[in-house]
């Protein structure tokens, strides 16, 4: 097989090598699932997106970590849609639909003439209370139990991908976090393949409402996700569910990646109507480089 071109775009930032890097492979219909996984392993980013033809939507996106396929990925969606738009590969309209393993979701572009911003809808939020050992959980990210904010619930949350939301008291705990990813599955007995997403209400940027880090499931083949779109979206739903349950909606900024030099921002909007939440994230991306990989290489 011929070499495959991969474009690196960094999402949730306008500065190259900040935000969250994603690989984007255009015209990927000829690739097999095995090819995609091999490419994702060689690329080594938390996610690589493969852009394909869809009979259900404007385009189809498949997302691969170095270890497995993901149902949905926020930052990789931002990266791939930004790549398609800025390369002139999309029709001249503002709203598109994308086929994912989570379902068909809308994506909207704004400010197209300057720096396009992208808003994507996520799946309906779901929460499951954590029933595991809190001391072991804290230890798995290098903290002590008393650093967690147990006035708020620890829950598994999903708007397309499951992660464990862990409230932390103070911002300074985040610089001390050291994940032991191999330990995650034995602690997360209800959902062994979930990632961990510690967050707090103290922030570096006064315009942000929440600060977070995101530690990958060991099955993904990565350690930490610099700036996480799906987890940021579910944090907005968490806020309306557990912190301000009477509010009808919220618009908020989430900051992430500062501890690892990847400073990024995710805008989150959650609207509650008739007991159901609609979750949206907004961000942008920036082109960094292109390179080639060999799908035949092990």
**Vertex 72 angle, CA 66 and 77, to 5°:** 90
Query: Is 47 tagged catalytic?
Result: yes
Dihedral of the CA atoms 285, 291, 292, 298 (nearest 10)?
A: -80
Please pick, among 47, 99, 147, 224, the residue that the annotation labels catalytic: 47
Question: How far from the centroid of its chain's Cα atoms is residue 61's Cα?
Answer: 14
Catalytic residues: 47
């Amino acid at each position: 097989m011929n070499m495959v071109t991969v474009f690196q775009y960094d999402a949730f930032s306008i500065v190259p090598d900040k935000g969250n890097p994603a690989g984007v492979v255009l015209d990927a219909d000829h690739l097999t699932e095995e090819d995609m996984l091999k490419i994702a392993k060689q690329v080594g980013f938390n996610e690589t997106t493969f852009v394909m033809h869809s009979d259900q939507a404007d385009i189809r996106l498949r997302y691969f970590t170095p270890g497995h396929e993901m149902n949905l990925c926020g930052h990789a969606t931002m990266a791939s849609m930004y790549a398609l738009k800025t390369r002139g590969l999309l029709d001249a309209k503002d709203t598109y639909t994308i086929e994912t393993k989570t379902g068909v979701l809308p994506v909207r572009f704004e400010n197209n003439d300057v720096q396009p911003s992208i808003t994507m809808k996520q799946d309906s939020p779901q929460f499951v209370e954590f029933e595991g050992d809190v001391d072991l959980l804290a230890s798995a990210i290098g903290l002590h139990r008393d650093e967690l904010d147990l006035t708020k619930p620890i829950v598994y949350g999903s708007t397309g991908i499951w992660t464990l939301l862990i409230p932390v008291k103070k911002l300074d705990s985040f610089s001390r976090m050291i994940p032991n990813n191999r330990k995650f599955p034995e602690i997360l007995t209800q959902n062994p393949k979930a990632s961990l997403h510690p967050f707090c209400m103290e922030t570096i940027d006064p315009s942000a409402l929440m600060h977070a880090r995101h530690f990958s499931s060991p099955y993904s083949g990565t350690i930490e996700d610099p700036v996480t779109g799906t987890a940021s979206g579910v944090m907005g739903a968490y806020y309306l569910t557990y912190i301000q349950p009477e509010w009808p909606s919220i618009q908020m900024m989430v900051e992430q990646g500062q501890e690892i030099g990847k400073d990024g921002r995710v805008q989150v909007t959650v609207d509650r109507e008739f007991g159901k939440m609609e979750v949206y994230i907004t961000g942008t991306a920036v082109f960094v480089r292109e390179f080639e990989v060999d799908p035949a290489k092990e």
